[in-house]
Amino acid sequence: MKRIIVFCLLVTYAFVSRAQSKFPPVDRSPMDMSYCPTDYPILRIQNKATEPLVARIIYGRPQKNDRVIFGDLVPYGSVWRLGANEATEIEFFKDVKIDGKKVSKGRYTLYAMPDTDKWTLILNTEVNIWGAFNYDSKKDVTRIDVPVQKQTDLTEVFTMLFEKTSSNSSNLIIAWDNVMVKLPFKW
């Protein structure tokens, strides 16, 4: 009987001590999410959504922290995860067109190959991966070259958001440091 009581106490202690373990530290590049249309979840719970959800992007938000970003931290001509930590994922909730090519609704990884005057944005079918270390070009859905727009104001924290351009089109704006690019798409 004593053995059973001791065993139960040990099991209880193991569960209690596990429950009181410390949380992991906060990541220096937190994850963020943007929606098209903007603020869709908030509008939906307030019964103010006037249009259906088109897209959502999930990405890590690194900070500049006085570093040289493009051409150094993010090398020119190399595939980049488009943010920090996990590879950036975009989900389309309806079929869209990017650069005239149909992209079926679903989840994709979005990569970039930055250069000084243009970026190549890459939509890829492999999801749930970390970084771009195992990037496989055979799984690309489409690639589009977009021009770099230099900014006078620095964007300290890597940012992605949707900008509606008409009733059935938007741009995904990507900005960091003194650079901004836009990925146009229609539905």
What tens digit of pLDDT does each residue of 3-48 get? 665 444 455 555 555 555 687 777 778 999 999 999 999 999 999 9
With tokens 């539905």, the residue in question is 187
- Burial class of residue 109 in the structure, from the number of CB atoms within 10 Å of its CB (0-12 exposed, 13-18 middle, 19+ buried): buried
List beta partners, residue 56. 35, 91
Tokens matching residue 148: 């770099």
User: What is the edge-to-edge ordering of all strands in the sheet holding 31-36?
Assistant: 31-36, 55-60, 89-92, 106-114, 118-124, 140-147
- pTM for this structure? 0.85
